[in-house]
Structure 1
Amino acid sequence: MRWSWVGLLAMVLACAEAPRPVMKRWPQEEVPVGVRVVDAANQPGPGVSLVARRADRGSSVARGGTTDATGTARLQVMPGWYVLQAEAPGFVSVTRTDARVPFGDEVRWDVTLERAAPVAGRVVDLEGRPVAGARLELRFANEDVAVPPTESDAEGRFHFDGVPAGAVTLRAEKDAWSPTRLKLAAPAPELTVVMGGLGKMRVRVLDPQQHRLAEPSVSISLEEEGERPMTKSPIQVPEGILFLNLPAGRYHVSGRYEPSVGCEWERVIEVQVLPGQQTEATVSFEGVEGFGRWRGRAVDDKGRALGGGQVMAWMGEHGEGALGLRGRCEARVEPDGSFALSRVTGPPAQVVWDSDKPSPTRMLKGALGAGTGEALVFPPEGGTLKGRVVRPDGQPVGYFEVDGYFPGNQRGEYVQGVWMNHTYQWVIDVLGFAPALVRAQGQVGEELQVPDVVLDEGRTVQGRVFARNGRTGVPNQEVQLVETFDLDGHRSNRPRAARTDAEGRFQFEHVAGRLQYLRVDAKDQGTVLQALEPDASAVRLRLVPNAELHGSVTDGARVPLAGVGLHVRCEGGFKMNTGTDQAGLYSMNIPGDRECFVHPVVTPLNVRDGHLPPPVSFSPTRVRLAPGSRHALDPTPRQGAASLKVSVEASLEFVTAFVLPGDVPWPRSPESLDALIRAGFNPEDDDDGFTPSFMWGAVFHFGHLPLGHYTVFIRDAIDGADAVLRMPVELTGTDVHIIRSERPGLGGGRPYTR
């Protein structure tokens, strides 16, 4: 089935003269919930501890109880979606993520508990003596299963509660002891966990003539699966380098040797450290002679010499966990592009050229010739646009900003990176002058000069903000001066702003002579977006009354969803947010007579351990409401069995993805792209609340999608431009459909000037 995204998004137009509807409110009383707990044999489960937490992550709303002799309990909760957790000694804990309570009659939840498999034993040292205070934890293949850790007592004994039968890994650790890992199958009621002390390792490094290096460069890394990274500072001893207090396990030991100036060889060996013992390790370069000089000539893709700068070459396997011999050499590059590596271990596998000037690095991989002076073609990975900022008298400016970034160049010079052939633009800000807009064509592999930016003081613009009646000034209100290309706020720097006085008057100084927009969001009083013509010096802004949007968010039936965020994105860059209350109700003001899209956002489930995705997903709804009107909108979850995962080779800091149903063509302009972004399905919220975006991979999940045809857009925000990939996809089954993509800015994305 094929359909248009426009056909899926409801168009709502409310009449300003319509009577104010009465918002339907469900009764706010708590609802009785009967919980019955049985075991696998359908026998009642008495003494089971129950906790029902509201399902939206971060909510502290919870009700608890304990089952009686018949295995039943009665909870009083408000209608809504809950996560129910049931725990009892001797049983595996159960978490129900679909515990729903609709408005109306009493609800019953049934829970079946599985008998736990006993896992217990003793922790002893190498001589069989008990080890007290060891911390033990279990790890399961299923990451959704979690059992609380435990600690060994004075006699070294321990036991776990609530362990499901099957494969499990036990880990024991204690300060000043080596951690121990055991793979076992539950039940395991009589385990013996043996722990040993910390070990030591002395490392010698021998040169090709088997002479010991007096002060060798050595590093080690623990390679045991599941163990945390470790940093150890060694000490120098007469016979080498000594590492103390090492947990027992398998280590990779790296020793380095410099055969000549500019080159370093490295050998990585594997060493087993035993608990409580000192291990001897020798990294030897015996028999390694190498050869040199390995010569080449650096040229670009047009055959021009890449003179100046330096090259760095790597030999051997440098992948994570790789063992054996490898090397690295660096050398200066002559004006004609020639260079010589003094002592390589073999033909380089990768060579990088770096210019002395601000310029992107160039990399070359693969077969690189015999090293007898052949030309090595370094394809460009980017380009540069170089410019200068000067005052009206031609003198350079020492302090200026380029798109909010301070280059720190007293000669007024700056460099902009180029990652694809496209027109770039940026704004230069200097105190006391009008912001200058620069546009230039960038070419990958080229260093192009941009004409000097000659600053202009600009003009003064005075204005006044009036209420809807056109007579009353609006005091203490922020007025934004926005560039035409940044109405949706995709650039990093914030728009210029002024604040009205007691009579609603405001003033901007040093305003550039180009078309811009004045924007006001007066919250409850209304909004206005008005063009500021290039020659205008006085303006009059009149607020357009808001419209009220209200309603309830449910699971599609009678179960209210609390804590659902409603994000409204409107043309002109207006953004509003609110959330549903405990009854699933919301009310908010949105700009009147503007196209807006309402995006309900559901948080991941409110569970104590692990990360569970949101229970439902919503599609955005398009609305355009008349000023002063009220309109009811009751979003319901989309119903679909398909899901989509989009994985991009980039950081989440730069890349976003959105999906639209149907066959959506390429946007023809940045403004059309912004309209698609506002209308698109957003991915599920995977944010854990504390990890910064640059540490997350760009992976996006879209759930509960109906089968059919969709268009995926991946947007890469790079300096002065967006790079976008468009991918049609057909969802024909219930499996997770996976799309893998390069970063659009580096892999064929279509550019859009910002």
Structure 2
Amino acid sequence: MRHSVALCCLLLLPTVALGARVSGTVVDARSEPFTAAALELARTSSGTVVARAKSDEDGQFGFDVPPGHYRLRVHAPELCAPHEQSLTVAKGQAVETLPLQLHRCVRVTGRALGSEGAPLAGGRVTLHWLQARVPDQTATTDAEGRFDFPRIPQGRVRVHLMDTTGGELLSTVRMTAPRTLEVRGGARVLPILIRGFGGEPLEGVEVLLVPEPRDGANLRRHTDARGIAGVPVQPPGRYRLMATWYRKDDGFHRQTWRDVELKPGAPESSRLELRFEKDAYSTTLSGRVRAADGTFLSDAEVTAIRRTRSVPLDDDFLSEDTWPYETATIRTDAEGRFTLRDLREGEYTLTATHARGYGEALAVAGTSHFEFTLDPGCPSSATGRVVDEHGAPVRRFQMLHLDVEDPEGRFHSKGQCQLFFKAKGFITREVDVPRSSTQAPVSLPDVVLTRGRTLAGRVVRADGRAALGYTLSAEWPGNVADSVSQPIDASGRFSLGPLPRDTEVMLTLRSHHHVLRQRVPPSHEGELTLHVPAFDARLEVRALSATGAPLAEVEVTAEGAAGAFSVRASNSHEVDLELPSGLYQVRVTGKADPKSASTAVPARFFPWKVQVPGQGTTTLELRAVQGPGALRVLLPAWSHCDEILVVPGEHSWPDQLGATEDFRDTGAHVATDDDRETVNVGAELMSIRMSSIMRDFSHLVPGTYTVFAKSLKGDTYGRGMLFREVIQVDGPGRQLVQVRFEGPQARELPW
């Protein structure tokens, strides 16, 4: 591990336009003055010295010179070398202050230790300055591991430690006293050199070394000023070496990769190298951006995001770390034109953002000129009134997350395209604000809120006593409010609202182990009694792996007319459920087969129907199913997908997003994805992240499957996107499904 050590400071090289007098202050990075520093001005053309001065006790200096171009030199005992910089003195009598912030020369000593804590004799300690143009300095350790840098400039440095063979070691650095270091070596370093288009070493590139076994840890580092990222020497095997090159100034984001094999007996000092090949980035994407009224827009931000990864998609090296995709960003010129360069061939998502609107489209790099028309943006402001059904003002309400109180119910919003209004006793309402390419303020019609009804009553057990430990919630079609829910009080009573008067409401009663549901029609009036049925039956489920071995962790859910009942067992393959008698659909989910080599593959079960009679125990033994099929679902991005369902058989499009839950409710076998995690080991930390842009489904039973992926983010509030693709899984080959929320395989549906 390498740490940067703060030894001090920063150097400024200003160019100023002065009059006939030059003055200033000479200080170090801590603003401490240099006393009696010698300064002189020499003409750039001839080298003739025309003025000399010395700094006072406050570091200040000054001298008079004629206009011209000069070299300013500063000499001081505290400097490792004289400081020089260019200076231009213009005509005029203005007096300017010229701050000089210089690096003092200091002595740094320390001791180098091996991984066991013993002195590292004959090693080399190299200091690399991070914020100053200072050549690297190297010292050799003595028999006791000590090193000495007698005169070096202040500044932030990175410390590199090499052993007697010249191999670099991962090292930790700490300061034991002012300007005294302790450098402790660790594992040997495998250096990875990253080069740019012209072969130049690249600094700040993220490097990822991915082992072929999916359960291995990815090694993540960033390259230093030498273009090198050091990782611990790895055991022999196949690896994928990936690099991500990012420039903040223009949004340039590129990736490259190659597969490497580390062989037994290879020299530990061997170096891996990866280069961004210019030929791979030879295409451009150009066009113009205009507003909805046809006006060409200058200074619009245009971003191209490559829609597919540049690495193979179907092998075991792939991980979520291959995202984000390659991107490039530029701003349009005065005529709305743009040209994005150094792109790979392929399809890109092109976005344009401007104060007058936003646009998104698909484009292919290297094709003809692309004309981009932005959708109108949100108005600069919107005003209006909130009233009830009779036109009376609602004086207190919440708009978005703002509390508003106005005697006439008036509101004023800024820069919003959608508004949400909530008031006590009323049903929450969402309002679309008309868009405008000119961002002109708009005045909205009255926003009418409808008073809701309140459902009140009691939850009782079969013996008439109050049912405790439940939470009651209500849902209805088109609900845009936060979930309406409340716990049942000690007497079993509830009062739930506001709820719509003209819509059927679904009430859900939840406890730790079961869920009960009841529909309430819009015509219902008066008290409502919810009955918890008698738990007069017992269901015992034994879950076995595909090889017949008991599973260590299972969850069993039995769903029937009385509701859904579930129990999780963490240390047993047997689960007992107490539930009302009746016909049930039993679903089992389990951890991986403990005897299987693929420990990341969960145990998958087909659903099973069983009649559970009262006053007895019904025993059900279920064995997991598996086959040679494999499926990989690739997502657009981390945040773009809320759920993936892989359902056996061919299934048609539902009418709304929530209907996909019917696959579970009706007992369809919804496959569980592999339980894999991405483990990244960085220079200073280890992070574990669930794979979120890729889902693998291994050991599937061959056959037809329907893949659904849904996102709650649609073009309008209350609607989301659903992706659907029917595939055939057969044999050991891995099927690939690329989720895209556009085109014929995607539809926008209501929630």
TM (norm. structure 2) is 0.50
User: Which of 1 and 2 has higher RCO (CA within 8 Å, sep 6+)?
Assistant: 1
Max Rg structure = 2
